[in-house]
Amino acid sequence: MLASMQSLPDELIIHILSYLEPAELATFQLVSKTCLKLGRDKLLWKTKCFENSATERRRRRQQLDIPANTDPRLTELLRAANSITSTLSTPTSSSPALLNRKPPSVKKIHLANWDPSYPSESTDFYQEYIQRHAPCSLSWFQHASYGHRDDNLHHEATGAGILFDSEDLADKLIAPLEDGSISIWDVGSTPNRGLITARSAPGILANRGLDLDYETRFRQSQAIMTDTGAVECVSIDSVQKKGFFSTQNTLNEVDLHTLQVISRTPYPFPIHALSEARHPTPLTIGTMWTLHLHDTRTSPKQQIRTELIGGTPSPTTSILPSGTGSHVSLSQPGPQSILHIPASLRWNTTGDVWVGGRFTSFLSFDRRFFPRLNGTLHSGAKTSSLAAIPYPFIPPTLRSPHPRAGNAAFQETKSKPGLTLISAGSYKGKGSLELYSLPREASPTTTPLLLPSYYHNRQTASSSGLLSVTPHGARLVFSDGNGNLKWVERDGSTPVRTLNINDVNTSRPQTRTREAGAGQVEAGREDFVRKILPAVDMSLMATMRGERRNVPVGRDDLVVWTGEGRLGMVGFGGEGFDVSGIEDEAKEEEVRVLRERERGYGIQMRRALEQQARELRWLRGYGL
């Protein structure tokens, strides 16, 4: 059979494969290298993604045409069939023929109208299908234990960052812990995935040394590490292998090879947000009332005095190290997220740095003219997270629901260069997902920025505020306060899938605030995702290199940092990893070593007491 298939053109074979179900296509790929190549055809899997999308399911329901003179019994039968197909979570291409019957040209127009990719973008639709429809798995990273071995307690992570390798794939997960230490986990596809590979001494980030006993050092470090509650408190420079960690008003620069603090830079107010760290671009630091540029190539030599202008006065005069350079005073407190725009995408109306936070406008700065404000963009919502994709925003008005109307304007807009700013936050207590088109045209004014198009999803995003957002493949993923991870199309509203981390059947490590048994969760306790970290470098700088290759299947996962200080990984189509057995073995080994130490200590104490008794008997012999 394979020999006869090899004589057929590839186009004909792919057409035959289009009648197979996705599970059958996955099995077909295992036959040979040729079958693997044909079974991964881009257009084939793009069509599968389209046929199983919420957009196509909605169109099928709306386009179900029932003539007025149709027999009522047949009408009810058609409606029932339509209802069944609409309730399927992952409908297949074998839907009823009556619902699928349409001219091929019309189907192509619908497919082009739905296509989330851009002409200059390389999208792996086979992986897209897996991430859209395959089962999700949630695996928890090994926790850093402390206390007595019978307590089964662990340290909570107070932040998280990822160290990427030269292929822009996640290599290590790096997180500060509440005891002031730094832990490193393996993220790559190795047998050690999810395990701790290195850990620093406690208290190094809180600057609490070994001169204190462990309980005092832990208590003081915990108070310092959890003081501000900042989410964007970790930034990893994958080029220089350095990490930047904020604790209260101090920026700690750490060498990830030795896990030693290189420098500590104080700032006048608690640090609330750090931008991405990518050498040689300076780091942008947002404190409660100010913004700073931190150039790691410049070491602070002296301190200068500054005072806050336009905001709440400080009880004392602010002291800034000269290495921090110029600063911006904010009239409203609370920057939450800072986004860097690469120099290759710098336009006169946008600048290099975007800042969002508890204030209701985005702030734009050009690093060349810092600290001068380049412009503002009013939102009305409070921002928790900023992201961007280096492609133009497509307004909803260009997505024509009528296939015969044509989509020339839609395709023309997609082919133009552009940048889409993505914001997640809250508006009047509900979630707000916002998309903005940042144009290339120059503006004669600096403030406010005049943007041609935007979209605010404040109805269907979430009933609670949004916490984090990031691009994921050809989709967007965001988290809310209810514990949900929601994937939507790039239009910001069309749903793709939802995962609630509290509904996943997986064990959770016990924290010291719980009284339940090991591995169980306190009744009624719900967790949520504070920050989403893609396992592939999705920053604008990495995306715009022009050398982006297809990500290996199974590597485009998501790392999550939760409100309870847990670190996990969301995978697709697999069972994930399980470190519980390895942790049990490690505990058994730890117990064995501890027991040997206790036995050795007992032997030494017994020998010391016996020696002391012999000396006393000898002294008594001399009448002493």
Q: Specify whether the CB–CB gap between 63 and 55 falls below 8 A.
A: no
What does the pLDDT read at residue 138?
Answer: 93
Q: Is the pTM of this model over 0.75?
A: yes
pLDDT at 54 over 50: yes
**Distance spanning both ends of the chain, measured CA to CA:** 103
Report which of 615, 607, 584 is spatially closest to residue 152, judged by C-alpha positions.
584
Give the residue, 327 or 5, on which the prediction is more confident.
327
What does the pLDDT read at residue 111?
Answer: 85
Q: Tell me whether the omega of the peptide bond preceding residue 280 falls within 30 degrees of 0, making it cis.
A: yes
CA distance 56 to 133: 15
Q: Residue 291 forms beta bridges with which residues? A: 286, 328
Q: How confident is the model at residue 264 (pLDDT cuts 50, 70, 90)?
A: very high
Which residues 6+ apart lie within 8 Å of 186 measured at CB?
172, 173, 192, 193, 194, 195, 197
Amino acid at 440: R
DSSP 185: E
What six digits make up the tokens of 599? Answer: 């036995």
Give the residue, 328 or 319, on which the prediction is more confident.
328
pLDDT at 466 over 50: yes
Spatial strand order in the sheet of 382-389: 382-389, 419-427, 430-438, 454-457
The stretch 237-262 carries a mean pLDDT of 93
The stretch 36-63 carries a mean pLDDT of 86
pLDDT per residue as tens digits for the range 70-111: 566 666 666 666 555 545 444 444 443 334 445 556 778 788
pLDDT at 303 over 60: no
What does the pLDDT read at residue 521?
Answer: 39
Report which of 260, 255, 259, 266 is spatially closest to residue 290, judged by C-alpha positions.
266
Kind plus residue range of the DSSP H or E element containing 77: helix 72-87
The stretch 9-21 carries a mean pLDDT of 87
pLDDT at 379 over 80: yes
> To which residue do tokens 């695996």 refer?
139
3-state secondary structure 245-267: EEECCEEEEEECCCCEEEEEEEC
Handedness of CA 166, 167, 171, 176 (dihedral sign): positive
pLDDT per residue as tens digits for the range 427-458: 999 999 999 987 554 444 445 555 568 899 99
Phi–psi pair at 162, nearest 5 degrees: -120, 135
pLDDT at 461 over 70: yes
CA distance 507 to 521: 8
What does the pLDDT read at residue 442?
Answer: 44
Least-confidence region, from 214-228, 301-315, 421-435, 445-459: 301-315
Q: Residue 194, by phi and psi: left (phi above 0), alpha (psi -120 to 50) or beta?
A: left
What does the pLDDT read at residue 307?
Answer: 42
CA distance 421 to 412: 20
Report percent pLDDT > 70 for the chain: 73
